[in-house]
């Protein structure tokens, strides 16, 4: 009986949903026009890690201040 209900649900679901718009991304892969240097890579990774780890480090460094607040 469950197989029959599953079959009915599979066939009825697209009809009940109506028409859906299919979205497709247009991706084009090509080699980089300019090579990124070592210094630029280090600077970029440094800023990225600072943006991720900076706020959590600030919170951990001031954890006692947050606990003592009344």
- pLDDT of the residue at 18: 67
User: Which is higher by pLDDT, 28 or 46?
Assistant: 46
- pLDDT of the residue at 70: 61
What is residue 31's DSSP assignment? -
Burial of residue 48 (number of CB atoms within 10 Å: 0-12, 13-18, 19+):
exposed
- pLDDT of the residue at 29: 81
For 34-63, the pLDDT digits (tens) are 888 999 999 999 999 999 999 999 999 999
- pLDDT of the residue at 16: 67
3-state secondary structure of 24: coil
- This prediction's pTM: 0.46
Domain ranges of the chain: 37-69
């Amino acid at each position: 009986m469950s197989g029959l209900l599953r079959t009915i649900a599979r066939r009825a679901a697209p009809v009940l949903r109506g028409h859906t718009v299919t979205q497709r991304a247009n991706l084009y892969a090509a080699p980089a026009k300019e090579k990124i240097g070592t210094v630029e890579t280090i600077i970029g990774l440094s800023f990225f890690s600072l943006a991720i780890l900076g706020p959590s480090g600030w919170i951990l460094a001031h954890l006692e201040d947050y606990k003592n607040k009344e």
